[in-house]
Amino acid sequence: MKSEKPTILILCTGNSCRSHLAEGLLRAAVGDLFTVASAGSKPAGYVHPMAIAVMKEIGIDISGHSSKHMNEFLAGEVETVITVCGNADQACPIFPGQVNRHHWPFEDPAHATGTDEEKLAMFRRVRNEIRRIFTAYADGRRDERKSMPKRTAV
């Protein structure tokens, strides 16, 4: 039986920064219309503390997120996969099966150098770029869902 709420899976390599920023932002934007999750092909095993900090600044708590492997989602019903890997030297994961696919590359803030404030500035910049793209995507998907005919039980 197919779930009424489509699952959107956001993938990157380490599942420690960009995919968690995107997951938190998209979940906040779409509410309960979709199930939103994130994963990686080589999970780092943690969510970067600066990712948690810059999301807290805008009122989104991702401190409860965990780094997951994409294989955890292979048996589920994933409708859409969005990859957010950005650098040419990174191999973005490929999710098998028939799913809608989008690739929106973002720079990895985990590679930021400099002082803590300079690193936070990079995390904020990437967060804001992700927010712009994913908010527009959420608006389109929300409009699409609202225009779908309601299913009634027979």
Instruction: Say which of 8, 12, 29, 52 is annotated catalytic.
Output: 12
Active site residue 17: no
Cβ proximity of 55 and 21 under 8 Å: yes
Angle between helices 18-30 and 49-56 (to 10 degrees): 30
d(CA 66, CA 44): 10
Cβ proximity of 51 and 109 under 8 Å: yes
- Tokens at 6, concatenated: 């489509």
Instruction: Say which of 11, 62, 85, 130 is annotated catalytic.
Output: 85
Instruction: Say which of 92, 110, 121, 133 is annotated catalytic.
Output: 92
Name the residues annotated as catalytic. Answer: 12, 85, 92
